[in-house]
Amino acid sequence: MPQEAGDVFIGKINTFENSLILYPENVWNKLVNRTLKKLNPYKAKHNEFKRDFFRDVIEMELDSSGRVLLSRRFLNKLGVIPGEGEEVVLAGQGDVVELMSRDKYEGTQLTDEQRVSIAEDVMGDFEWEDEE
């Protein structure tokens, strides 16, 4: 992680997967500011989203050995049983890190055909914002 990321991370349960996304504090703050600007406090669905968005969030600080401690509540949400020797995977994804059980991570592996299909669907018509 870049130096500006610091030692504080914000963990949020992934909306779409059974995993924990670890955001450096500066990245999290940017995401929160962008998200809150899009919400209208006079729309009930926006308030529901906001409540749920912040529900499963935890602030974590690296200890002197570069480790973080996860509460039992978050481990349970991830399907990781403390004390059972279960392995977890930290998968870097640009400016965030995704944490999930090894079994779950291995179950997300795409086939070659799926990889081609998703790449075409997501990136096929993509236009870079910084290109003219």
Per-residue pLDDT, 95: 92
Token pair belonging to 46: 């926006």
The alpha carbon of 93 is separated from its chain's Cα centroid by a whole number of angstroms, namely 9
Across the beta sheet with 57-61, the strand order is 57-61, 8-13, 20-24, 96-101, 88-93
Q: What is the mean pLDDT of residues 60-84?
A: 81
Q: Which helix (H) or strand (E) holds 102?
A: helix 102-107
Side-chain half-sphere of 104: how many Cα atoms within 13 Å? 19
- Predicted confidence at residue 111, as pLDDT, reads 95
Q: What are the extents of the domains in the chain?
A: 3-123
Question: What pLDDT score was predicted for residue 125?
Answer: 84
| pTM for this entry | 0.80
In this prediction, residue 121 has a pLDDT band, given cuts at 50, 70 and 90, of very high
Q: What is the pLDDT of residues 12-66, one digit of tens each?
A: 999 888 899 999 999 999 999 999 999 999 999 999 999 999 988 999 888 888 7
As to burial, measured by CB atoms within 10 angstroms (0-12 exposed, 13-18 middle, 19+ buried), residue 22 is buried
* Of residues 94, 92, 99, the one with CA closest to residue 13: 99
What percentage of residues in the chain have a pLDDT greater than 90?
52
Has domain 3-123 been given CATH number 3.40.350.10?
A: no
